[in-house]
Structure 1
Amino acid sequence: MTGREPSSTVATAVDVAGLHVRFGTVEAVAGVDLRAEPGQALALLGRNGAGKSTTMRVLAGVVPPSEGRVEVAGHDVRAEPLEAKRVVGYCPDVGGLVPRATPWEHLQLSARLRRLDGWEARGRALLEQFDLGAVAHRVTAGFSHGMGRRLSVVLAALHEPEVLLLDEPFDGVDPLGVEATFGVIEDARARGAGVLVSTHLRDLAVQVCAEVAVLRGGVRLATVSAEFMTGDEGARAYRALLA
């Protein structure tokens, strides 16, 4: 086993109530409520500056909440920061890679930090799935943006987390990478993990997530079914929400 099995006693994968995040006088998130069940994929959809990435950073334990309740797999991110981080796999929207390290060295470091045993076969399979096997021992400094995004998803998924957080995983990624990311999300859902996908790409969000939370200006405007956001009618509904 490479990671923890999703706990059958955890009723909610992600539970956020009244989340506020302030940076000085700037309120990046202004009272967001979110809920994702085990086995569910929820999309955070919105334009740049909507508060999507800040919300994901709070869930990942990178940024502290200024106000509100934030729990992942039953762990409060403020009261139990280490426990919360252990159950999360996080693909940040930018950064996170060491330019002078290879993909395989990134996997080794992640496995060591998480004290994983028997991770090598899964690591190789993920690299092949994301078409990174041929560059597994090449430093990431020369990687394209899309290659870096694909590696970030691999690192987030390696330990089979109970909560998978993917922030802009499709940005600059080719169709093969999109398909591989869809596979990781479906695998996580099948294991009973909760998945949050932050993106500004409505068409991809509705393909892989059952529900969509639309954010604007740090506020959640609505949470609707993916079906509601599909096709031309969905595009019109999305534009109306952001108007």
Structure 2
Amino acid sequence: MTGRQSFRGVLVDGLRVQFGAVEAVTGVDLSVEQGQSMALLGRNGAGKSTTMRVLAGVVPPTSGTALVGGYDVREAALEAKRVVGYCPDVGGLVPRATPWEHLQLSARLRDLADWEMRGRALLERFDLGDVAHRVTAGFSHGMSRRLSVVLAALHEPEVLLLDEPFDGVDPVGVEATFDVIEDARARGAAVLVSTHLRDLAVEVCSEVAVLRGGTRMATISSGFMAGDDGARAYRALLAG
């Protein structure tokens, strides 16, 4: 088994991702410690989702280093995936399967024991209890987003990656996602949230990394990014 490094959060150094002639990520550096939550903030195409996919083991990095839970996503891919809970920005659900069947599959793949009570509690928290045995094909975008967060959180991962978890989600779902993030932080997990919603990012995360054109422009405390002053600072970073 590949050795595990002492830093158990998220560590990204000089990350670059290229698809053919297109560089989706051109140099991102991040560090999220255990018990900390950070937001990746930026417009569509800023490189947020690509960075998250690298950390989740979905997309390989072209160059640079990416560690999750102390594992290198390239050299210890399987070990890295085991410590991660990942909510992708799109997809990830089986249309003909119910939420409960999704939970059963996730528990089986991860060899989880005594997961049913936590699974039911998460579905209720996200207002999905009444549709637990309904196929997801007819779910709204917001319902699918909520279920994706539930699946990411089920096994209480060491690293929680939530890519656009608030997109199309109602206030109940937003509050439930906040609770999941706070629960994860309380047990010492590192949390990375990708979003284009500045107000929600600064409310739930202690730091914000602003991405533009595949590059990290700045990492700023959430307090500085809040309110009207934060909105102006954010616009300035996006404008360059």
TM superposition score category, shorter chain reference: over 0.9
Instruction: Note the alpha carbon deviations across 1:97-136, whole angstroms, 9 max, x for none.
Output: 0000000000000000001010000000000000000000
Alignment of 1:97-136 (within 5 A): 97-136=93-132
Give unmatched runs, 5+ long, in structure 1. Answer: 1-6
Q: Which amino acid aligns with 1:191?
A: R
Aligned-pair identity in percent equals: 81
Which of 45, 49, 71 aligns to 1:75? It is 71
Instruction: Note the alpha carbon deviations across 1:51-75, whole angstroms, 9 max, x for none.
Output: 0000000000000000001100110
Give me the whole-angstrom Cα distance separating, in 2, the residues matched to 1:12 and 1:162.
Answer: 8
Say if 2:18 is the partner of 1:22: yes
CA-CA distance at 1:175 after TM superposition: 0.3
- Equivalence for 2:179: 183
- Equivalence for 2:167: 171
- Equivalence for 1:39: 35
Residues 20 and 31, structure 1, Cα contact 8 Å, conserved in 2: yes
CA-CA distance at 1:10 after TM superposition: 4.0
Q: Which amino acid aligns with 2:118?
A: R
Say if 2:220 is the partner of 1:224: yes
Give me the whole-angstrom Cα distance separating, in 2, the residues matched to 1:12 and 1:158.
Answer: 19
Alignment of 1:120-159 (within 5 A): 120-159=116-155
Count, aligned residues: 236
Give me the whole-angstrom Cα distance separating, in 2, the residues matched to 1:10 and 1:126.
Answer: 31
- Equivalence for 1:192: 188
TM-score (norm 1): 0.96
Q: Which amino acid aligns with 1:86?
A: R
Give me the whole-angstrom Cα distance separating, in 2, the residues matched to 1:156 and 1:214.
Answer: 24
TM-score (norm 2): 0.97
- Equivalence for 2:46: 50
What value does the CA root-mean-square deviation take over the aligned residues? 1.0
Give me the whole-angstrom Cα distance separating, in 2, the residues matched to 1:114 and 1:161.
Answer: 11
Give me the whole-angstrom Cα distance separating, in 2, the residues matched to 1:79 and 1:218.
Answer: 23
Instruction: Note the alpha carbon deviations across 1:132-159, whole angstroms, 9 max, x for none.
Output: 0000000000000000000000000000
Give me the whole-angstrom Cα distance separating, in 2, the residues matched to 1:84 and 1:93.
Answer: 19
Say if 2:95 is the partner of 1:96: no
- Equivalence for 1:241: 237
CA-CA distance at 1:12 after TM superposition: 3.9
Give me the whole-angstrom Cα distance separating, in 1, the residues matched to 2:164 and 2:234.
Answer: 18
Give me the whole-angstrom Cα distance separating, in 1, the residues matched to 2:27 and 2:233.
Answer: 23
CA-CA distance at 1:216 after TM superposition: 0.3
Give me the whole-angstrom Cα distance separating, in 2, the residues matched to 1:102 and 1:169.
Answer: 20
Aligned residue for 1:32, secondary structure, equals strand
- Equivalence for 1:3: none
